[in-house]
A and B are shown apart, each in its own frame.
Chain A
Amino acid sequence: MNTWLYLHAPQLLLDTQLALQTPAQQQQPQVLLAGSRVGARQVVQYNQAAAAAGIALHMAEVTATTLVAELQLRPYQVAHEQSILEQLAQLWYQDIAHIALYPPQGLLFEVASVLRLYGGFQGLLQQLQQRLQEWPIRYVVASGDTPLRARLLAQAGQSLLSNDADSVQQAVAQLPISASGLEPVHITRLQQVGITTIGALQQRHRSALGKRFGRTMTEYLARLNGELPMPQQYYQPPAQFSQQLDLLAEVASWQQLLFPLRRLLQQLEAFLQVRQLSVRALLLQVKHRDGQHTEQVIRFAHPVWQLKDMLGLTQLQLERQQLDQPALELALQAQRLEPRQPHHGDLVQASSELAAPTQSLGELVSRLQARLGEQAVQIAQPQRDWRPQQVQQWQLWQAATATAMAMPQLPRPLWLLTTEQAIELQQWQLQWGPERLASGWWDDTPCQRDYYIAVDQQQRQGWIFHSEQGWFVHGWFT
């Protein structure tokens, strides 16, 4: 009886990227390259258009690009692929409880119990495939009497689905030794003595093999035959907070929902407390009589975990919202869970007195944003640039970085006009200058100006400049 199923997706990362592209884009030859040094990288995944142009696995970057000049190259990212694998597991967790991750490209299913449910391998496979409708990845599935056999077959591209353990064993015996999953050095050694299939390996005496290859070899053979149990770490979906409440009676406005919401937030506070997490956003979902949903996202400018903070800020944001239809059910989902941090990273070492103002500033900004909208609260960030018009830029509070990037001390007016105003030079008396600024050639707003400090007829001290366009005042010192 073959109770194991192994799924191998050799192009998982690329396939996932392709799924997000337009059909025209998918027709472009594209590959993923592995290897750290540019120039010494190799093709590890490629799409059909690339294959049609002659690209092959492990081809050197330079050969591939010579072959197909318009080839799209992207780096292969193993961490990324692994997280995709987890998403796959999460997807299929609804169908199969026992899934083991074989990162970055494989999943092992223990299927003894579900085979009957789906009426055999074909039914099961259909169920799995159904979940992939929006996600066309290429994969190979193989069954096996032991996890290792199923895996070797799938990785070798043989999609053998059978209840017959003998046929699996025969198929595995015929696999080349290069597909054995043994260490590369052992594979080479075996090939060098003419042992070129897994079957040939199994024909050798185990003690003779052990003497030459050590315990890893005997253990390998034992695992292959299922003599050594392979403890599997089965997939567990991540902790999520998602709760709902029946409201018993219809509720017509957000304000009226605050009371039941409080209960849900209490649960959330407990959930966060146990896990030492904080939250940056909440998803509120109300269900209406006709089965429709209304969703509302609540975002926080700083991570929160206490009931009073969450409730207070939610309240502020809901004040401006209308509920179109009465609600029957309320659901709360915590989004953007984060491990709790003492405070901001840059203040880790600071004492609580020092931290307090930032904290209250954060709270203030949260409240301001709750009232006025995120866009309304911005911070001036000095930029490293010689061009006065580029030095100051406004940015979203959340986007601002902690480190200030200031230029060296320069005589600059406190009040810089947003737009320069043309002036008549006769009405000005030059006091100092010029400070010649010629910079920024690299973008579309280069600057070539001679700046002077000068006083106008009202004895106001201004910062004026001369450029190809004439004379302008750019700021005031007084």
Chain B
Amino acid sequence: MAGSPEWAPVALHCRSSYSFMRAASQPKELVQRAIELGYQALAITDECSLAGAVKAYVAARNSPLKLIIGSEFQFADLGCLVVLVQQHQGYAQLCTLITEARRRAAKGSYQLSSQQLLAASAQLSDCLLLWRPLSDKAFADYYQALQEAFPERLWLAYSRHYQANDALQYRRYREYQQQSGIPVLAACQVYYHQPERQPLYDIMTAIRLGQAVTEVVDQLLPNHQFCLRSSTELQHCYPMAWLTEASTLSQRCQFSMSELSYQYPAELVPVGRSADDYLRELTYAGVTQRFPTGIRRDVQEKLEKELNLIAQLGYAYFFLTIHDLVQFAQQRGILYQGRGSAANSVVCYCLQITAVNPDQIDVLFERFISVERDEPPDIDVDFEHHRREEIIQYIYQKYSRERAALAATVICYRLRSAFRDVGKALGFSEAELSYYMRHIDRRDQQLDWQQQLQQQLPQLAQTTRGRWLLQLTEQLRGMPRHLSQHVGGFVIAATSLTQLVPVENASMPERTVIQWDKDDIETLKLIKVDVLALGMLTALGKMFKLVAQFHHRQLDLASLPSDDPAVYEMLQKADSIGVFQVESRAQMNMLPRLKPERFYDLVVQIAIVRPGPIQGDMVHPYLRRRAGLEPVTYPSTEVQNVLERTLGVPIFQEQVIKLAMVAAGFSGGEADQLRRAMANWKSSGELRQFEQRLLEGMLARGYSADYSQRIYQQICGFGEYGFPESHSASFANLAYASAWMKCHYPAAFYCALLNSLPMGFYSAGQLIADANRHHIAVLPADIQSSDWHHQLIPLQAQLAIRLGLCIIKGLNGERCRGLLAHRPKGGYQYLAQLRELGWSASELQQLAAADALSKLSGHRYQSQWQSMALTHQQLPLLAQLSDAETDDMPLARPLEYQDVAGDYATTGLSLRRHPLALLREQGRLKGCRSAAELPLLRHQQVLEVAGIVTCRQRPGTAGGVAFITLEDETGLINIVVWQTTARQFKQAYLTARLLRVRGILERHGEVIHIIAGRLSDASSELDQPLLTKRSRDFH
């Protein structure tokens, strides 16, 4: 019928899911549907946002579809305006417009009035405007102003969706055009890619309004015509002239995201020098520092190779930027460590970005920076946790907020949030929804959540609402909810960042985020500098200071003696509580099996105890091969080159990628796609498309089906948790450093760890118990000698730890530090003096309850009784008098268990005897073995143990097994509980504080487990002594 044969549809007003709950299709779905329907152009016009633009660009990149960049704005007086970009200049103009509107309003909203828009019209000279007037009045009021502001660049956007007022609207737009001469075009308003998404769109509307869908029917759209329609449908719907007008307009939009080019900040290079030269100079300056005895020839060759590659790809500025940051950290004495593929290089070692000596680890050169994949280098820098803010402020100060902003993180719906929101919008009650959700076990690897619900609650899927709940939850999963800030990824630009991407406010005051996440940044090859925080660096910093103070030895990360046998001997015995990355129970089990002897073993150990390698069935082969129980073989020399350093077993992400290339013939680009798919395979299932390609590739190259399948499983396992070798190496460096400190300066080690809590796996009590096992004396918090923080004090020619007042719950650090500054030299003389010197009545109570006043006023009952009397400020004389209290009999001294209970209640730990020791002494644990006895018992022996439950774990990887850690007065006991046992003794398994376990001892080398056969809850034993005490008091 009508139209020129070359006419093809365009859609100029499409919202994507990045309009957050105002549209129901992902950018990719819109693009793919548009391609299927033969569209020539598609404009993604999210509301005041370009957050979906890069995703759409990726989807449209290699297709005939032209992607137009634009954005929609709603005005209370004007109606709706869609701003479309013509050329690069227009793009920068739109970014600036969005940034300004966003920066004026709080996170998640924007503010743009019609006046502000008209005033900014000169700054939108390269943009086209589509207008949907709110009313006849809005048109009459504004058409002249808009026409003047946007001459030849203004259209009326007619959109028809078979609604009751179609004819009226059509007549109005015709009249508008006759009256003003502004051309009308068919805009095709789109909220979802296909009509089947209408229910999801309706549900999103209900969720947005916070009501059930049946309550908001009048605010839903009457039909499902807000989708992308075929060209036949469009020709039925619109006059051909208006369709061709839209098509003509789309010709004017020539901008493509591929034109964006990022420029590094240039001020770091002295005037007149090239960046490459300057980097080379800095690097070689570092060589003399790092290799005082001269650099080895092969290392120098590698260094040259790296420098050449950096120059070839133009990444010198990036390395200089990081170098500048770590220089600042060094000046401020902030401990840091770089990691990431590019960090473990000779260049980074010489620039002091990392302390991992490249001598110790042979990182794949390809991972350093891949020419083939043309991906930007990756360096994350961890800083001391509590000092990271100084670095962030430095960045803002140096580059200004104009040029630096955080990357965004897109917060998406996950199963639970989707289920709850969809459920509420369908009118289910909170109670019903939590009942249903209790039947979903996300660790179930056989059945997905829908199958689980259908199996366990078949009646749910028999109702219309129930079926929609299942279906729409699944559709809503993965839909973006809002933008949040990335933990520490900064994007720094040479000039204004807002020329490149819109910037908006974050929820933290004074923080700004760009509208793109890390994937977008990677796609457009922007450089992101990751400024992260790490608690262990804080602890190490404190350890070094203590060692300098008490041992007069200056240490830093790079100067620790490497490959110290004593350190490895300690680790081989699983003596690793408090040591970075290898202190978890799983890691501790692995240490005696893997028996690390050198740095690279630690790198493997850290990567190996991850869910990934276990799912891929690859851990045991590595251990067997390492123990010499299995021959080390390689299916080919290519594979040998990749896997030799891990005995033929793929352990690192880099190896898996390299394997895909050498063994399955993946190109660099494909391998890169594989890597991205691995990063989010669970949510999108993208990985499956590589399965066949990989298996076929490997079979064609002569690998067995079994081996190929195992490699594929390995990749799936890596998906979520895969650990790159380069990260592992950086972590191993910190693991080694903390282990070295534990081995040689244990007192400083524990003291610094205690002062850096919360971090790691263990509580203060557990760390102190470990310190005691290493013969480090720990003294209680005491008002006469404690500081706020824990400190080291000399005690009988050794160092002991004096706990600080910070251990006492409820005290305010700032206040206490101030008050302690006024503590008399010889300590306080009498209790009331504390009140006189500013301690409040409640602080006194807390100190007394924690037994920190005992040197002043006797045992903890008496101390508290006396301090209670000091509630009101009293004159010293009266205070003395009232302290005497001749009319009252003294309180009885607490019994030991009461003191222990008091300690736990006020500080969460006790330096007195362990509660289990008391129970054992009283004969309450008859027949139970202690942790210390276990090594003396034989394999498979039936026994009973008891202990305080310190940890319950049910790792997702371990099938039906749960792990419980018990603590008694002699140490820790590891319990393995099979699912059937857990079910049988559910109450004890879930709630016991003190657990008795009857089971079988299993011994693998030095690793001992108890396989539980029977669990019983003995928690009441912990409360019982209190009863006996009461009766003793009053008979």
Contact = CB atoms under 8 A, between A and B. Distances in A.
A306 interface: no
A194 B986 CA distance: 35
B885 A208 contact: yes
A59 B426 CA distance: 30
Given A67-B990, A196-B1033, A205-B887, A439 B225 contact: no
Contacts of A443: 214, 464-465
A197 B426 CA distance: 54
B199 A441 contact: yes
A156 interface: no
B891 A194 contact: yes
Interface string A189-205: 10011111101100011
A342 interface: no
Contacts of B161: 436
Given A208-B888, A442-B464, A435 B1030 contact: no
A436 B426 contact: no
B464 A450 contact: no
Interface in B1008-1035: 1026, 1029-1030, 1033-1034
A441 B426 CA distance: 11
Interface string B857-868: 000111011001
Interface stretch (B257-265, B431-439, B554-562, B641-649): B431-439
B986 A197 contact: no
A69 interface: yes
Contact of B1034 (A200, A208, A411, A438): A200
Interface stretch (B174-182, B215-223, B284-292, B399-407): B215-223
A450 B162 contact: yes
Contact of A205 (B888, B987, B1026): B888
Q: Is the interface of B mostly helix, strand, loop or mixed?
A: helix
A296 B209 CA distance: 48
A408 B218 contact: yes
Contact of A73 (B195, B198, B431, B1030): B431
Given A63-B991, A386-B222, A193 B431 contact: no
Contact of A438 (B164, B224, B435, B861): B224
Interface string B199-219: 100100000000001100110
Interface string B679-717: 000000000000000000000000000000000000000
B894 interface: yes
A218 to B, nearest CB: 15
Interface in A201-243: 204-205, 207-208, 211-213
B898 A194 contact: yes
A407 interface: yes
Contacts of A204: 888
Interface string B323-360: 00000000000000000000000000000000000000
Contacts, number: 128
Contacts of B464: 442-444
Given A67-B991, A384-B217, A386-B217, A194 B894 contact: yes
A207 B887 contact: yes
Nearest to A38: B430
A236 to B, nearest CB: 37
B523 interface: no
B1034 A436 contact: no
Contact of A193 (B164, B864, B882, B1026): B864
Contact of B887 (A195, A197, A208): A208
Nearest to A213: B868
Most chain A CB within a 10 A radius of its CB, from B431, B468, B868, B986: B868
A174 B1034 contact: yes
B213 A442 contact: yes
Contacts of B990: 63, 66-67
B214 A438 contact: no
A251 interface: no
B217 A67 contact: no
B214 A194 contact: no
A441 B217 CA distance: 11
A73 B437 CA distance: 14
B986 A438 contact: no
Contacts of A194: 861, 891-892, 894, 898
How many residues of A sit at the interface, in one of the four size bands?
A: 35 or more
B163 A439 contact: no
B871 interface: yes
Contacts of B987: 53-54, 67
A65 interface: yes
B211 to A, nearest CB: 11
Contacts of A69: 438-439
A38 B435 CA distance: 12
A189 B864 contact: yes
B650 interface: no
A355 B19 CA distance: 49
A38 B434 contact: yes
Given A67-B991, A173-B1034, A439-B217, A193 B167 contact: no
A408 B165 CA distance: 11
Nearest to A442: B213
A405 B464 CA distance: 25
A63 B166 CA distance: 57
A164 interface: no
B487 interface: no
A196 B1026 contact: yes
A295 interface: no
A437 interface: yes
Contact of B869 (A53, A174, A212): A212
Nearest to B985: A54
B661 to A, nearest CB: 46
A65 B991 contact: no
A445 to B, nearest CB: 10
Interface string B865-902: 10011010000000000100101100110100010001
B159 interface: no
B748 interface: no
Most chain A CB within a 10 A radius of its CB, from B214, B217, B434, B861: B217
Contact of B223 (A173, A195, A205, A436): A436
A471 B865 CA distance: 90
B366 to A, nearest CB: 48
A410 interface: yes
A434 interface: yes
Interface in B717-752: none
Contacts of A444: 464
A475 to B, nearest CB: 14
A309 interface: no
B1030 A176 contact: yes
B81 interface: no
Contact of A211 (B438, B465, B869): B869
Contacts of A435: 162-164, 166, 222
Interface in B350-391: none
Nearest to A436: B162
B513 interface: no
A212 B867 CA distance: 9
Interface in B430-460: 430-431, 434-435, 438-439
Interface string B950-986: 0000000000000000000000000000000000001
A166 to B, nearest CB: 15
A424 B986 CA distance: 69
B869 A407 contact: no
Contacts of B439: 69
B222 A436 contact: yes
A208 B885 CA distance: 8
B92 interface: no
Contact of A432 (B167, B202, B468, B1026): B167
Contacts of B1030: 174, 176, 196-197
17 contacts: A54-B986, A73-B434, A174-B1034, A189-B868, A196-B1026, A196-B1029, A197-B1033, A197-B1034, A205-B887, A212-B869, A384-B217, A384-B218, A434-B162, A436-B163, A438-B224, A442-B199, A442-B468
The 6 closest A-B pairs by CB, nearest first: A54-B987, A436-B162, A212-B868, A438-B223, A436-B223, A194-B861
